[in-house]
A and B are shown apart, each in its own frame.
Chain A
Amino acid sequence: MFSALFHITLRQWQQHLLRLALTTLGIALGVAVFFGIRTANATLLDSLRLTVEKVAGKATLQVTAGESGFPEEILDKVRTTPGVQLAEPVIEVIAHTSFADEGNLLVLGVDTAGDQQLRDYQFDRSQTQVADPLVFLAQPNSILVSRAFAERHGLKPGSPMILFTSIGKKDFVVQGVFQPTGMGEVFGGNIAVMDVYAAQVVFNRGHSFDRIDVMNSPGVSVEAVQQRLRTELPSGLEVLRPEARGQTLENTVTAMRLGMLTTSFVALLVGIYIIFNSFSISVNQRWKEIGILRAVGAERRNVIWMFLGEALLLGAAGALLGIAGGFYIAAAASKVMGEIAASVYGSVSTPRPAVFRFDYALTSFALGLCASLLGAWFPARAASRLDPILALHNIETRGKETVLGTARIVTGVFLIGISIALVFWSPTRVGMTLQLFYAVVTLLGLTILLPKLVQWSARALRPLMDWAGGSEGALAVDAMIQSPRRSAATVGALMVGLMFVFSTGAYIQSYRRMIDRWMGQMINADIFVATSAMLRSTTYHFSEATGQEIAALPEVKRLENVRFTSIPFHGDSSALIAIEMDGFLARAGDAFDGANRKTLLDLLPKGKGALVSRNFSLRWGIRAGDPLKLDTPTGPLELPVLALVDDYRSEKGTIFLDRALYKRYWGDSAVDFFDISLKPGADRAAAKRDIERLTSSTIHAFVYTNAEFKKWVSSLVDQFFLLNYMQLVVAVLVSMLGIVNTLIISVSERGREIGIIRSLGGLRSQIRKMVLLEALAIAIIGVSIGALAGVLSTQFMAHTVSLVLAGYEVPFYFPWMLILSSLPVVAVGSVLAGWWPAQRAARRRVIEAIGYE
């Protein structure tokens, strides 16, 4: 029986190659995006991990204090801790060179006397001049570069090289070149090494180190040394294995990775709709064949297995194709993700080619098969339940398809209702997976209701289509009214794609509005000077001396030094902004929720309290009035939280401290921003030019007026959402494929109808118009239902996803303009997608179409 049914399926494939190809492509696209994004994610994580491990060399433990650094006295404590064989200080800076085309260089400040035991430099011996490390130490302007970097810029031992440091432009001399293996591979080879004490001076680290790399003595376990160090050292210092530090870095890019994974699931979901659509139509096309099979003795389960077997084969072919294509997507996506990780999160990664992972390939393959089976299940079941007698009759006798019974409508409405209630009233701690499950249930409810929604929408559209499109318009929507299931899957694919587009668009717009409002309230200095063209540089900082030079300019009324860093907090991390509180409070207006203004002005500048952002408060359950316990490199610090404030710079939450207090506890005088207020009447543009003139020859700085700064922040938001824009393109493309698929299949299914219309005098142009109008109707209905789903999804993202991932709610804003402007785009896209099927329908021979044998 099975082989006979398989034979029939093969014949069907031969006759419907196009449907076969489009269905396979639907699954392939879903799997490709899924596999590609997962591989890109893994590649990025590998690259982050690899960077940490290669830079760590043979170190088994690393001592850090977040990004803030710690006093150099700690080194002695580490070295004298039993079980520590070697402890080497490190300063790590992404510095700027004077080479026009090579902006960034990862500079490691190390103590070369001991560091060669930790890290494998593999010098080009013929070229190196560091025969004696002491020579290197004795010359603070010495630097070693990787061969890749040296070759790119024609450097050799003895060559001069300029770096922008925190204390100005500095001349260095290349003393040696190390090979592009081990550490030389990191950051695409843009790596250099210099003396750690010289680095302290030129990169404004004072008497601090960024990190200590530790190697344990033979015979002593790493865990034992880690435990001893944790006991010996102040609580603000973290003692971690390099791989665990890699994990910490991974955590910083979680939001981006989750966003990408969501996209891949959306693509797969659209793939399921395409399969469902394709198989529904296949069942319709094979109505008579199924009737004959049932009449000659095929059992219901045989019919089900005929379709499921077909789905399995198509799923397998699509999944294999998708995995192959996904690998190319991975290559492109990992590059973009690496750039975003570097620019938005300041994570240094080592570009790596995408690695083919069999476990991901297997998962993707299995998901492709499951998606295919899931999509085919309902059509297969419907096929098995066909009444053979009715199936053998002509098209007029097939009967109107049942749209939806009351039970199904109730189920759909119930699922939507219950899932929305769960999304709104579940605590955020239930986690993202469960919250996403609720969202999927909403989508399931909508999917169940889709045929009814399509029917209602088509009915509502009929007068308009009749009036504007004449008989062809009416015929186009009549088909949807009578057979809503035929269009439901396409509308579903479009709904998912557009829901994603609308909610992402709405989220981005809501987020931007929130940031604009926040900037209007909090960003009110006249001029800002930043260390990086990105949000901040995690390693390169200004010195207070530079601030004093700027403050001496005649138009400057006041300059505040701002340190923006990240510190360990309760096993995770938190952003910390150290700011001169009196100036900050004077500019910030009434943005605080907690103690009154007088108390804030009284306590904060004296370092007797802290402010925390609302997302910090929500994440850690710390409210105004609660004590805030911080572990600093010099010991614990406890302060009352005086008020909450809106701040969106970190998804981990932000603590605001007075700068003097921060310097005292962290021993860190570095500066990341200068907030400058000008004297009344001073011209911002002129002041900006003066500051640029003053700094351009010495430090690497980015100077913005207030308006430019806000614009810059907006552009950073855009950059953060770059991936989302890419996701939108994928979603729209996959949805369009759904429309092409449906229309082509719909045209072949409606061949007889089209033939009848032609035989009654319907012109080719009328047939073409009818198919195109059907495409247009699908677009209008898809946009309408997509907008409905988009409202729910936007609410979900703004309320739940934001709260779970970033700890704050984004105010809900629904982008009517986006929906309205998407209508013509989707309409044109749909009509274009329908063009070829329309041509095909118009050209079909009437006699064949009406089924003369």
Chain B
Amino acid sequence: MIQLVNVSKQYGNGKLVHALRNVDLQVARGERLAVMGPSGSGKSSLLHLVCGLDEPTSGSITIDGVELSQLADDARTRMRRDKIGMIFQTFNLLPTLTALENIALPLRLQGLRRRETRERAFTLLERVGLKDRATHRPDELSGGERQRVAIARALIFHPALLLGDEPTGNLDSATGAEILDLLDELHREYHTTLLMVTHNAMAAAICDRVVTLRDGRIIHEERIEHQRGGS
């Protein structure tokens, strides 16, 4: 599903910052991969490159068989819209929209009519346990509820790939655990490939594999065996 070959990323003009150095990584379809590492290790840069928000300095990134560097900005955006759902640490919900409207937003950006998108959004809202919160705006929701809305938004178009940037980073441990359970359930339901950047060992534990980054390099890789029927 995801293939990174010899990917490097540098920032700055004078004194260069090497965010990623010659990273090789493959993620299979349906696999859940956690990327861990200290601050500044290159986790977020990796995520931005995979979702096409940024371009590598060198190397190639292939998503679902498509080489990202071959795509123009609009094509990369369309790929993101059609195939990649994103969950952010800071939720990134639009404050002016209701929970339902936030969830429906990616479909509306795809050009679907409002009525059509509302039904699908409501189904997902119900699925994440917030059917009573449909008309609430982000400021009227708790942190956990906001992240549920963000997850529902990321899944509304059934993406092949789900990217999570510290999805539990802004939540207390109990709420974080709830969110991880939800992600686990949804993975079983939708079989979506998951690439999650996290500091949280509990979050990493729901994944099939964990890679650890330091100073832009993969320094450790570990496969996690889950008990059958559990996470």
Q: Which residues of A contact B (CB under 8 A)?
A: 394-400, 466, 470-471, 474-475, 478-479, 481-483, 752-753, 756-766, 846-847, 850-852
B105 touches A757 (CB 8 A): yes
CB distance from A768 to the nearest CB of B (A): 12
B95 touches A398 (CB 8 A): yes
A763 touches B78 (CB 8 A): yes
Q: What are the 8 tightest A-B residue pairs by CB atom distance, in nearest-first order?
A: A761-B81, A471-B108, A396-B138, A482-B96, A399-B139, A756-B92, A478-B96, A761-B80
Instruction: Note all chain B residues with C-beta closer than 8 A to A759.
Output: 51, 53, 80, 86, 92
- Given the known interface contacts A761-B110, A850-B92, the answer about A400 and B78 at a Cβ–Cβ threshold of 8 Å is no
B109 touches A760 (CB 8 A): yes
A766 to B44, CA, bound (A): 26
> Which B residue's beta carbon lies closest to that of A470?
B111
Contact mask for chain B residues 69-91; partner A; CB cutoff 8 A; 1 contact, 0 none: 00001100110111000101011
User: Can you list 13 A-B contacts (CB < 8 A)?
Assistant: A400-B137, A470-B108, A479-B96, A752-B92, A753-B96, A756-B94, A759-B51, A761-B77, A761-B78, A761-B82, A764-B77, A846-B53, A850-B88
List 14 additional A-B contacts (Cβ < 8 Å) besides A470-B108, A470-B111.
A395-B95, A396-B91, A397-B138, A398-B139, A753-B94, A753-B95, A759-B51, A760-B80, A760-B106, A761-B77, A764-B73, A764-B74, A847-B48, A847-B53
Instruction: Note all chain B residues with C-beta closer than 8 A to A763.
Output: 74, 77-78, 109
Q: Does B222 contact A (CB under 8 A)?
A: no
A474 touches B114 (CB 8 A): yes
A753 to B95, CA, bound (A): 8
Instruction: Note all chain A residues with C-beta closer than 8 A to B221.
Output: none
A478 to B96, CA, bound (A): 6
> Which B residue's beta carbon lies closest to that of A397?
B139
Q: Does B199 contact A (CB under 8 A)?
A: no
A394 to B80, CA, bound (A): 24
Interface of B is mostly: helix
Q: Which residues of B contact A (CB under 8 A)?
A: 44, 48, 51, 53-54, 73-74, 77-78, 80-82, 86, 88, 90-97, 101, 105-106, 108-111, 114, 137-139, 146, 153
Interface of A is mostly: helix
Partner of A760, one of B86, B111, B139: B86
B137 touches A471 (CB 8 A): no
A764 to B81, CA, bound (A): 13
Instruction: Note all chain A residues with C-beta closer than 8 A to B48.
Output: 847, 852
- Given the known interface contacts A399-B139, A759-B86, the answer about A482 and B95 at a Cβ–Cβ threshold of 8 Å is yes
B91 touches A757 (CB 8 A): no
B90 touches A394 (CB 8 A): yes
A757 touches B109 (CB 8 A): yes
CB distance from B193 to the nearest CB of A (A): 17
Instruction: Note all chain A residues with C-beta closer than 8 A to B97.
Output: 475, 478
CB distance from B66 to the nearest CB of A (A): 15
Instruction: Note all chain B residues with C-beta closer than 8 A to A399.
Output: 139
A481 touches B96 (CB 8 A): yes
A396 touches B105 (CB 8 A): no
A753 to B93, CA, bound (A): 8
> Which A residue's beta carbon lies closest to that of B165?
A852
B95 touches A396 (CB 8 A): yes
A466 to B74, CA, bound (A): 23
A850 to B137, CA, bound (A): 19
A758 to B82, CA, bound (A): 13
A760 to B74, CA, bound (A): 12
CB distance from A542 to the nearest CB of B (A): 73
A481 to B138, CA, bound (A): 15
A496 to B90, CA, bound (A): 41
CB distance from B106 to the nearest CB of A (A): 5
A762 touches B77 (CB 8 A): yes
CB distance from A404 to the nearest CB of B (A): 18
A763 to B79, CA, bound (A): 11
CB distance from B22 to the nearest CB of A (A): 22
A481 to B96, CA, bound (A): 8
CB distance from B13 to the nearest CB of A (A): 15
A397 to B92, CA, bound (A): 11
A395 to B153, CA, bound (A): 18
A327 to B5, CA, bound (A): 66
> Which B residue's beta carbon lies closest to that of A850?
B92
Instruction: Note all chain B residues with C-beta closer than 8 A to A478.
Output: 96-97, 101
B91 touches A760 (CB 8 A): no
A471 to B108, CA, bound (A): 5
A758 to B92, CA, bound (A): 12
CB distance from A838 to the nearest CB of B (A): 16
> Which A residue's beta carbon lies closest to that of B138?
A396
A396 to B146, CA, bound (A): 9
A762 touches B109 (CB 8 A): yes
Residue of B53, B88, B106, B114 with highest tally of chain A CB at under 10 A = B53
Partner of A396, one of B73, B93, B153: B93
Instruction: Note all chain A residues with C-beta closer than 8 A to B96.
Output: 475, 478-479, 481-483, 753
A487 to B93, CA, bound (A): 21
A45 to B217, CA, bound (A): 80
Partner of A474, one of B53, B80, B108: B108
A851 to B88, CA, bound (A): 12
- Given the known interface contacts A760-B153, A764-B74, A847-B54, the answer about A394 and B105 at a Cβ–Cβ threshold of 8 Å is no
A513 to B95, CA, bound (A): 52
Partner of B109, one of A396, A483, A752, A766: A766
A326 to B106, CA, bound (A): 51
Instruction: Note all chain A residues with C-beta closer than 8 A to B108.
Output: 470-471, 474
Residue of B48, B73, B95, B146 with highest tally of chain A CB at under 10 A = B95
A764 to B88, CA, bound (A): 21
Instruction: Note all chain A residues with C-beta closer than 8 A to B95.
Output: 395-396, 398, 400, 482, 753
- Given the known interface contacts A394-B90, A478-B96, the answer about A758 and B77 at a Cβ–Cβ threshold of 8 Å is yes
Residue of B90, B101, B106 with highest tally of chain A CB at under 10 A = B90
A471 to B101, CA, bound (A): 10
Instruction: Note all chain A residues with C-beta closer than 8 A to B106.
Output: 760-761
> Which A residue's beta carbon lies closest to that of B153?
A760
Residue of B82, B111, B114 with highest tally of chain A CB at under 10 A = B114
Instruction: Note all chain B residues with C-beta closer than 8 A to A481.
Output: 96
Residue of A396, A757, A758, A766 with highest tally of chain B CB at under 10 A = A396
